[in-house]
Chains A and B, each alone.
Chain A
Amino acid sequence: GAGVSQSPSNKVTEKGKDVELRCDPISGHTALYWYRQSLGQGLEFLIYFQGNSAPDKSGLPSDRFSAERTGGSVSTLTIQRTQQEDSAVYLCASSLTAGGPNEQFFGPGTRLTVL
């Protein structure tokens, strides 16, 4: 079946604008994760969903970042009033369920550039 998909693949925006990033997890996967990867840095955990609820939002770097998931499927990550330091690749991953050996399958990412 299809893997995790993300859109857009690339997004260039101006400082101060809002952006929405979309993630379509693998069908049937109940857990969904957002990470970001900055140049030369490791992947940074942002938030995860089990179903539609987000048990832990502690990784979100500021209150400009928010995420939602509806219908236990698609998720959107919204960044308001973007700043240049928000430039990174935003990766989404899904797994069958949370915890245990369940591997996380990653999408191709959205490369965000804030000018």
Chain B
Amino acid sequence: GQNIDQPTEMTATEGAIVQINCTYQTSGFNGLFWYQQHAGEAPTFLSYNVLDGLEEKGRFSSFLSRSKGYSYLLLKELQMKDSASYLCAVRDRWGGGADGLTFGKGTHLIIQP
């Protein structure tokens, strides 16, 4: 089976930087995704990591260490619209379907003025 852990809730200040961590335990690994989900809306894709290292995309960056089963999502220059849930998801080569993703419960990020 799989286990994906991420903090339930985080609070940060507008303009600041926040790092959302995700740890996972899987029987196989075939990629890690980060999604953003605003309340009442569908998740939207943020990033994909399959090799170790940092992927940068504008204000958002995602890091992966496969040996540690660890990833983080880094959000810079926070804006009020970044208040949302951030979902870490892993594709396990043998579980969750050959291609279905296993999602963590999400981190609810609250941005304060």
Contact = CB atoms under 8 A, between A and B. Distances in A.
Contact of B99 (A35, A44, A48, A109): A48
B15 interface: no
B48 interface: yes
A42 B48 CA distance: 18
Interface residues of A, number: 30
A33 B48 CA distance: 18
Interface stretch (B39-47, B60-68, B70-78): B39-47
A21 B45 CA distance: 23
A108 B41 CA distance: 6
Interface residues of B, number: 26
A61 B23 CA distance: 25
A99 B30 CA distance: 8
Contacts, number: 74
B97 A59 contact: yes
A106 B100 contact: no
A50 B105 CA distance: 26
Nearest to A58: B97
B interface majority secondary structure: loop
Interface string A70-110: 00000000000000000000010000001111011111110
A62 interface: no
A106 B30 contact: no
A109 B48 CA distance: 23
B93 to A, nearest CB: 10
A59 B100 contact: yes
Contacts of A46: 100
Interface string A35-60: 10000111111111010000110110
A-B complex: 10 closest residue pairs judged by Cβ atoms: A56-B97, A45-B100, A106-B42, A103-B45, A43-B103, A98-B99, A42-B105, A42-B103, A101-B48, A48-B100
Interface of B: 4, 30-31, 33, 41-45, 48, 50, 87, 89, 91, 95-106
Given A55-B98, A58-B95, A104-B101, 9 more contacts: A4-B42, A33-B97, A35-B100, A41-B105, A43-B87, A43-B101, A99-B91, A101-B48, A104-B33
